[in-house]
Structure 1
Amino acid sequence: MKPSCHSSSLLWIISDSGVPDLCCEALVNEGYRPERVSIAARSEQKPGVILIDSDIGSGFTGHIQTLISRFPQAVILAMVAHGESALASEALQAGASDYVLKPFQPSQLLRVLGQSLALRHSTGDMVVRSRAGLQVLQLAYRAAQTPAAVLIGGESGTGKECLARYIHQVSDRSDGPFVAVNCAAIPESMLEAVLFGYSKGAYTGAVQAQAGKFELANGGTLLLDEISEMPLALQTKLLRVLQEKEVERLGSHQKVQLNVRIVAACNKDLREAVSAGEFREDLFYRLDVLPLGWPPLRERAEDIMPLVRHFLQKYGQGESFGVSPEAERALLCHDWPGNIRELENVIQRALILARSAIIDVVDLMLPRAGQGRVANPLLSVGQPQPETAPDGLQASRQRAEFDYVLQILRKYSGHRSRTAEALGLTTRALRYKLAAMREQGIDIDRVIGA
């Protein structure tokens, strides 16, 4: 990738031993302007790429972190000697985009550099701009080039399934199927049949054979989401499937060979679950080959506004929406305990309540600093409004509330408990809201099915 496509062509080399002349010549031929600088260099120039050598001595990883803070948009490659694999790992953890082992050929350096630049500016469907997020994508990209299992950790709503899809998209399995299973959403009695499939007559109601998710994902990727919720007995069977790379449908002795990459995700600490006897230790180590930690949204503030623009475009129904400066400050100051899922819901709600093409802070309904969460207007659906509210405004608010409830119901195909969770209500409270809407003459079932 030519550097002029996406970044500054200035390339700093921080090394006591330097970079071979052939490598420098190859960099020049690719359009870079390599310059050798010291670690203490102070310059107004902003390099697009920095090569930093472990031969600079102590504080190597600390220097990487300093460079990241000074040049957040730069691609930083660590140069480490063969046998320094621990140091290479530390460099990645410190924030380096990648590393190259010395001695290296020009083609090796250009290949690693090209991959890092491609990743920085081509993130698939992922909306990521922050250094922390891009670092996770870098590790995910490397994981995708191997057949090993991947374990994705992170808080609820951070986008673990999106990261799993990214791994699938950039792997050599991208032409194969991507199959996702939420282990917490399927009743325990049905999960085994869903995963492994069943033959005709395997149990009452099995009137025809059905392939399981493992078979459906053959040649592609299988995401086992919320795997910590899988029963221990089923964990034992899952471990055997992963070890043998074959599966038997329930009620059948015929084995089906598998060629599936497993990506597991969970919002709990699986090590703690192992210690508590809630998760098999051997299964944990089978899945924890390439662990990835997806940071919460509050730790990657640079991603908030790009995500906001993405959701405005996604849910704007072809219209162009903007965000006022006050609303942007509120979005950036909020700590987002629900992460990206919460942000998505906030933007959907704001689009419904907005009075113009500019989203204002009142449309977001976020709590002010130092206060609890603002009252959810949905809690007042069907309740008397303050006497000071003009009748027209009251009716407008009520219509917006009804429309929002129906929109979320449609999103979850009428599923009451998932809708209530998205709205921040109990299922009982949601029933009251729906009853109030029916009293207003709204045929909820017809609208949802429309």
Structure 2
Amino acid sequence: MSQAYALWIDQQQADADAKRALAAEGYQLVCCADVTEVVTLCRDYQPALVFVGSTMAQMPLPELVALLSRKLPSAQIISMVTSDQSALASDSLQNGAIDYLVKPFFAAQLQTSVRNATAMRQGLKDLVAVSHASRQMLQLAHRAAQTQATVLILGESGTGKERLAQFIHQASERADKPFIAVNCAAIPEHMLEAMLFGHNKGAFTGAVNQQIGKFEAANGGSILLDEISELPLALQAKLLRVLQEREVERLGSNSRIKLDIRVIAASNKNLRSQVEQGLFREDLFYRLDVLPLSWPALRERRDDILPLAEFFLQKYGNGKYRLSQTAADVMQQYNWPGNVRELENVMQRALVMARGIELQVADLNLPHCHPQAAAFCASLLKQSKKNAEFDYILDVLNKFNGHRTRTAEALGVSTRALRYKLAAMREHGVDIDALAS
């Protein structure tokens, strides 16, 4: 088993208690007090955990966290701040940190944060989250998982709301208990009540046996009520009572069964709008809307597109296939109205249509996407990416008043690599000579 490393980036060195606490959790600590060493240490150790202090004068904490998020997309970053730096803590969370510790902290607090980070990483094993938007959402989901509160997941159809609900369950203390998913839109209305609450023998015509409901089956664990906006109004009132009283009655029974359960609801509709239209009970909405999470559409997290494609190629093609560069460019440009579900279907179809190990644009068979047009679109996309890269370098260069060494450090590249980039920018007509060197 390979050694797991934790990187400690702070001018104040980790004390003996912190080192022992991390060692007890299976991490060997590597300390760093100079930002210029960070990129090298990240490359050499590939740390699974990174602790970042707010005392690094060379770079503000949020920017350092953002740099680490780009360099170590699979690492869990925890910021370390003082009690008067709540704004810094918030900014670091928005830039990629999954948690923060307030100095001075005890070894037990450090271990709790490490265990939460480890649980989050384990939950991510089969969940692709590369883009900043999806990683930020997973940070919120992980925080929600540490509570017992009801969670409401909103998002377009096919974005992976059920997978996010599973992630919340797996990251919670209920992980070893049942996770039950119910699609409220897929079950006929006359069967839904009996399926949710259960029934006794003879409760209605056809009830020849006693049957426990989904709530009972999930007792001790979590239940996902997917597409909850499709729940009939009469059943919404009964659901509200279950959520309020935390108990359920089977149909045909007068006895109440106590529930210890985490409820997660999901919908592809705007429930607040549904309330205004009289299609959803307002009291139920506020009972569900305790911890709302809005899972972004795939077009809003484009950095996830190709990693997801690779995930499905591995899943259905045993890693034997790859995307051509043009196919990859076209996939990143496509808007994916069906979200992750559509992408999964496209990859399965492409594997069937493929004539070789490299998948081409024609194999994808995307709507309104012909190979000739795709090649032209791909060239435009490459130019757009190049322009965006040039703009970002200029922004960082301006921030450091043209100082090449500090700019290279902030970008995470060598000064030599930066010189090559600047030369390429000049060739493309970008005016950088006005900046001081």
Partner of 1:445: none
Equivalent AA in structure 1 for residue 31 of structure 2: P
Contact 2:4 2:28 in 1 (8 A): no
Partner of 1:187: 188
Q: Summarize the alignment of residues 7-406 of structure 1 with structure 2, pairs less than 5 Å apart.
A: 10-13=7-10, 18=12, 21-22=15-16, 31-37=28-34, 45=40, 47=42, 49-53=50-54, 65=66, 68=69, 75-81=76-82, 88=89, 91-113=92-114, 115-116=116-117, 119-120=120-121, 123-316=124-317, 320-367=320-367
Q: 1:129: how far off?
A: 3.2
Aligned partner letter, 2:337: P
Alignment partners' CA distance in 2, 1:122 and 1:250: 37
Counterpart CA distance in 2 for 1:51 and 1:252 is 57
Distance 1:10 1:220, change over 3 A: closer
Q: Conserved in 1, the CA contact under 8 Å of 2:226 and 2:266?
A: yes
Give the AA of the match of 1:320.
Answer: K
Instruction: Give the C-alpha shift of residue 198 in structure 1.
Output: 2.0
Question: What's the CA shift for 1:162?
Answer: 1.1
Report the alpha carbon displacement of residue 19 of structure 1 after superposing the two structures with TM. 6.3
User: Are 2:229 and 2:271, in contact at CA under 8 Å, matched by a contact in 1?
Assistant: yes
Quick check: 1:68–1:95 contact (8 Å CA) kept in 2?
Answer: yes
Give the conservation status (yes or no) of the 8 Å contact 1:95–1:135. yes
Q: Secondary structure at 1:184's aligned position in 2? A: coil
CA distance in 1, matches of 2:246, 2:55: 41
CA gap of 1:123–1:73, structure 2 versus 1, over 3 A, is: closer
**Secondary structure, counterpart of 1:172 in structure 2:** coil
- TM-score, normalised by the number of residues in structure 1: 0.69
Amino acid aligned to 1:358: E
Distance 1:357 1:148 in 2: 47
Secondary structure at 1:32's aligned position in 2?
strand
3-state SS, counterpart of residue 292 of structure 1? strand
- Give secondary structure in 1 for the equivalent of 2:266: strand
CA contact (8 A) 1:219 1:260 kept: yes
Cα distance between partner residues in 2 of 1:331 and 1:272:
33
Per the TM alignment, residue 341 of structure 1 is displaced from its structure 2 partner at its CA by 0.1
Q: Is the contact between residue 153 and residue 266 of structure 1 (CA under 8 Å) also seen in structure 2?
A: yes
**Structure 1 alignment gaps of length 5 or more:** 375-450
- 2:140 maps to a residue whose letter is L
What amino acid maps onto 2:270 in structure 1? D
Question: How many angstroms does 1:205 deviate by?
Answer: 2.7
Q: Is the 8 A contact 1:116 1:138 kept in 2?
A: no
The CA distance in 1 between the partners of 2:4 and 2:331, in whole Å, is 28
Shift of 1:128: 2.9
Distance 2:278 2:152 in 1: 19
Q: Displacement, 1:303? A: 2.6
Alpha-carbon distance change, 54 to 233 in structure 1, aligned in 2, over 3 angstroms:
farther
Distance 1:61 1:268, change over 3 A: farther
Identity %: 51
Residues 124, 166 of structure 1: 8 Å contact kept = no
Tell me, what secondary structure is at the counterpart of 1:282?
A: helix
Offset at residue 363 of structure 1 (A): 0.5
AA at the equivalent of 2:330 = A
Deviates more, 1:43-52 or 1:129-138: 43-52
Letter in 1 for 2:359: I
Q: Which structure 2 segments of 5+ residues have no match?
A: 375-437
CA distance in 2 between counterparts of 1:286 and 1:310 reads 36
Tell me, in whole angstroms, the C-alpha distance in 2 between the residues paired with 1:370 and 1:361. 8
* Shift in Å, 1:304: 2.4
Conservation of the 8 A alpha-carbon contact between 2:199 and 2:253: yes
How many pairs were matched up?
363
1:60 Cα offset (Å) = 6.8
Structure 1 residues 20 and 358, CA, compared in 2 at 3 Å: closer, same or farther?
Answer: closer
Q: CA–CA distance in 2 between the matches of 1:254 and 1:295?
A: 42
* Residue 51 of structure 1: how far off its partner (Å): 1.5
Query: For the structure 1 residues 31 and 216, does the alpha-carbon distance in structure 2 shift closer, same or farther, using more than 3 Å as the test?
Result: closer
- 2:51 and 2:77 in contact (8 A); partners too: yes
1:448 aligned partner: none
After TM superposition, the structure 1 = structure 2 runs for residues 397-416 of structure 1, keeping only pairs within 5 Å, are: none
Deviating more after overlay: 345-354 vs 186-195: 186-195
Shift of 1:155: 1.6
Deviations 1:359-401 (A, max 9, x none): 2211101246799x99xxxxxxxxxxxxxxxxxxxxxxxxxxx
Residue equivalent to 2:415: none
Deviations 1:163-197 (A, max 9, x none): 11222223332332221111122233332222112
Q: Which moves more between the two structures, 228-237 or 300-309?
A: 300-309
CA positional deviation for 1:70: 7.2
Alpha-carbon separation, structure 1, partners of 2:18 and 2:115? 15
1:122 deviation in Å? 5.6
Structure 2: distance between partners of 1:108 and 1:84 = 18
Structure 2 residue identity aligned to 1:95 = G
Structure 1 stretch 80-89 or stretch 180-189: which is displaced more? 80-89
User: How far apart, in 2, do the equivalents of 1:334 and 1:365 lie?
Assistant: 12
Deviation at 1:157, TM superposition (A): 0.6
Evaluate the alpha carbon distance shift between residue 319 and residue 70 of structure 1 in structure 2; reply closer, same or farther with a 3 A threshold: closer
Aligned to 2:400: none
> Which secondary structure does the structure 2 equivalent of 1:273 belong to?
helix
Q: Which residue of 1 aligns with 2:394?
A: none
Counterpart residue type for residue 328 of structure 1: A
Q: Whole-Å Cα distance in 2 between the matches of residues 208 and 82 of structure 1?
A: 60
